[in-house]
Structures are given as C-alpha cells and as structure tokens.
Amino acid sequence: DGKDNEYMKRIREGIARGIQMAINGLRGAKICFGEIKLAGLVRGEPNTEPDEVMRTMCVEFGFSRIMLVNFGIHPTAIYSRLITGDIAYFLTENLGSLVGGEAMFINGAQGGVQPVGGGWINARSIGEKLALGAVQSLQDSPVIPTSSAIIIKQKIIYVPLQNTRFI
C-alpha cells in the first residue's frame, strides 16, 4: 500500500508529545471583550448599510498580550500593484506601539463595504483610527474570570441553492 508504518508511528507519537506539552504548559489568562462604533471609516454600496461597530478581544497571560480586532471593511485603500499589508499593517503596528504585544485583524462583513478614500495616507489614517478604537473599546470592559468555561455551539443550516451554475 506504500505506507511507511514506522514513519506513521513516529508522527502519531510526536503529535501525542505535542499535545501533552501543551496541556502541561496551560496557565491562566485575562480575557476581555470590547465594542465601539467607528463612524465615517467605511461606505457601502447603494442600499447597503455598513456595520460600523468594531469588536475587540484581548488576551493577557504573564507579560504577553494578544489582541484580535474585527471590523467590517475591505482592508485595501492603497490600490496599487504592490503587495502590502495596507490598512491591517497600520492597525497592527499602531496597536503594538499603543499597548504592546501582538495584534491580528479579522475582517468583518465586507461585501460591498469600502474604506472612505484611498491611497497610502488614507490607509495609514484608517489604520491609526482602528487602533485607537480598539484601545478605547477595551477601556471599560470587564475582565472575564480565568475560571470561566468557553463554550462553542454550532448549527448547520441548509439553504436551497437556486443558481446551480454557482458551484
């Protein structure tokens, strides 16, 4: 069958060791969530109302901090053939300067939602405003106790597909 059983055994053992190391390294963390409305940064297509609410999560453990920022914006304002981090770059760099740690931008609903204006200066301006908004959104947010359980729920919904050429 072409399968190397000894190699597969080493892979399984390595995965098991990795899982055990992660379990042994578990430690408490502080988690907080925030929301803030940031008007004037995005525009929608005609008859489209953009979601102007930024949602933020901050996790602190020891001296480390990780922030997740969720906002509904198509994160490109530069419009060039260059490969850039665009708005997300300026957001994460500014957050790093303001609060330290690492930051990650996660797009919210962005269909038909564009940044107001374009170019390098506008990308920087929007990134800076998003970073300040993220910090402000967390200022009065309560810290979730480290003993809190995190529950994940899901529900599969089947929607009839009318345009069969889509797939």
Mean pLDDT of 120-130: 92
Compute the CA torsion angle 36, 60, 86, 117 (nearest 10 deg).
10
Q: Do residues 47 and 82 make contact, with C-beta atoms less than 8 angstroms apart?
A: no
Query: So what's the pLDDT on residue 4?
Result: 87
For residues 99 and 112, the model is more confident at 99
Using CA atoms, how far apart are residues 141 and 151, in angstroms rounded to an integer? 20
DSSP code, position 145: P
44-67 burial: b if 16+ Cβ within 10 Å, else e: eeeeeebbbbbbbbbbbeeeebeb
- Model pLDDT, residue 22: 81
Q: In what order do the strands lie in the sheet with 102-107?
A: 102-107, 64-71, 53-61, 30-37, 143-144
3-20: string of b/e by CB count within 10 Å (b at 16+)? eeeeeeeeeeeeeeeeee
pLDDT tier at 158, thresholds 50, 70, 90: confident
Kindly state the percentage of the chain with pLDDT values over 70: 95
* pLDDT for 117 beyond 70: yes
In the predicted model, is pLDDT for residue 138 greater than 90? yes
Write the pLDDT tens digit of every residue in 10-65: 999 999 998 888 888 877 788 899 999 999 998 888 877 888 999 999 988 878 88
pLDDT tens by residue, 57-91: 998 887 888 999 999 988 888 887 888 888 999 99
